[in-house]
């Protein structure tokens, strides 16, 4: 009998569950996948606190996931907590409550480990055959991985998650030029070491992992009537199409984004600052190509555990 395991990626915005096994060809066979928009950082991310409402949404999501895991008789369960849980003053309270209610142990991972798992996941979805920069925009943090086919050359987690940037700098709707300039100044300060590393390794493609980048790709497909990505785990978007999508998002207001069914409710407002961050990186580092990987941390964790 093939080994089936459950992995949970407990992010600042979304909790993910993936139940899968490894095929003889060493590819992932998905058994079950679900996600719940818990918004764990809502209302408290800049203060380093999980609010009562967010806390309860997170616990409820884990209870629901546990019922699914039990229905598949899965005994190997791996749950990782990232930015929101590692920075919240009551993060351990949440971990203890989940353990009490579900029996699931949550491992808090640091940004370095998070970046490594993202690299592992992306490798399975997008051919890394040249110097590349992987960017994963979470809610609380953003991970940057400079890499090639053989190895990671530079990796770092920065406090540049979409929920955090939105809470700090998105003060108008549509977002004003002054707010954008303030975000750019903040990125100049935060990403100085990334720019030095990029000057050394010269990435030729930006690979966005899951999350906001799936939305960017789907918006481009819809606007330009491109062939859909459907079940593809990797998808290339032209830089011109991406720039057009970013411009649309920056000029949009809340109501227009709500009315756009391509944008999931949890990303309706955060997608603006995520777009500003992504286009900043593309422009500042002069990267000539962009792609999407639907695989990210949870797939990286899955491959690690299935191959252990």
Verify that 157 and 277 share a domain, yes or no: yes
Verify that 278 and 132 share a domain, yes or no: yes
Burial tier of 243 (Cβ tally within 10 Å: 0-12, 13-18, 19+): middle
Helix ranges (DSSP H) in the chain: 52-71, 83-87, 91-102, 111-123, 162-169, 177-190, 192-201, 212-224, 239-251, 254-259, 270-284, 297-306
Verify that 102 and 131 share a domain, yes or no: no
User: What is the per-residue pLDDT across 24-74, written as a single tens digit (0 to 9) for each?
Assistant: 777 778 999 999 999 999 998 888 999 999 999 999 999 999 999 999 999
Verify that 100 and 194 share a domain, yes or no: no
Task: Answer yes or no: is 84 within a domain.
Answer: yes
- The pTM assigned to this predicted structure is 0.95
Task: Answer yes or no: is 79 within a domain.
Answer: yes
Task: Answer yes or no: is 104 within a domain.
Answer: yes
Task: Answer yes or no: is 117 within a domain.
Answer: no
Task: Answer yes or no: is 299 within a domain.
Answer: no
* CATH number of the domain residue 186 falls in: 3.30.420.150
- CA-based max dimension of the chain: 59
Overall number of domains in the chain: 2
Verify that 91 and 133 share a domain, yes or no: no
Domain coverage including residue 85: 4-109
Average pLDDT over residues 145-162: 96
User: What is the per-residue pLDDT across 180-196, written as a single tens digit (0 to 9) for each?
Assistant: 999 999 999 999 999 99
Verify that 162 and 18 share a domain, yes or no: no
User: What is the per-residue pLDDT across 65-113, written as a single tens digit (0 to 9) for each?
Assistant: 999 999 999 999 999 999 999 999 999 999 999 999 999 999 999 999 9
Task: Answer yes or no: is 63 within a domain.
Answer: yes
User: What is the per-residue pLDDT across 114-124, written as a single tens digit (0 to 9) for each?
Assistant: 999 999 999 98
Whether residue 231 has pLDDT greater than 80: no
Verify that 53 and 88 share a domain, yes or no: yes
Whether residue 1 has pLDDT greater than 60: no
């Amino acid at each position: 009998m093939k080994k089936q395991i459950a992995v949970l990626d407990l992010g600042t915005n979304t909790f993910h569950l993936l139940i899968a096994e490894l095929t003889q060809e060493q590819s992932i066979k998905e058994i079950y996948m679900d996600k719940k928009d818990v918004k764990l950082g809502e209302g408290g991310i800049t203060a380093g606190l999980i609010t009562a409402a967010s806390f309860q949404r997170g616990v409820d999501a884990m209870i629901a996931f546990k019922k699914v895991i039990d229905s598949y008789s899965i005994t190997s369960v791996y749950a990782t907590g990232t930015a929101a849980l590692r920075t919240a003053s009551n993060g351990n309270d949440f971990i203890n409550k989940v353990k009490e209610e579900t029996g699931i142990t949550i491992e808090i991972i640091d940004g370095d480990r998070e970046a490594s798992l993202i690299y592992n996941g992306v490798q399975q979805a997008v051919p890394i055959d040249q110097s590349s920069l992987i960017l994963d925009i979470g809610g609380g943090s953003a991970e940057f991985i400079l890499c090639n086919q053989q190895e990671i050359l530079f990796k770092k987690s920065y406090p540049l998650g979409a929920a955090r940037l939105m809470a700090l700098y998105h003060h108008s709707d549509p977002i004003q030029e002054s707010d954008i300039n303030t975000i750019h100044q903040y990125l100049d300060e935060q990403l100085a070491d990334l720019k030095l590393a990029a000057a050394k390794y010269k990435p030729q493609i930006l690979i966005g992992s899951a999350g906001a980048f799936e939305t960017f790709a789907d918006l481009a497909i819809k606007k330009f009537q491109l062939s859909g990505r459907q079940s593809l785990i990797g998808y290339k978007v032209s830089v011109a199409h991406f720039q057009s999508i970013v411009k649309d998002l920056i000029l949009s207001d809340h109501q227009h984004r709500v009315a756009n069914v391509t944008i999931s409710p949890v990303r309706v407002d955060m997608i603006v600052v995520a777009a500003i961050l992504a286009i900043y990186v593309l422009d500042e580092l002069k990267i000539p190509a962009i792609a999407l990987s639907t695989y990210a941390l949870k797939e990286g964790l899955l491959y690690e555990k299935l191959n252990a």
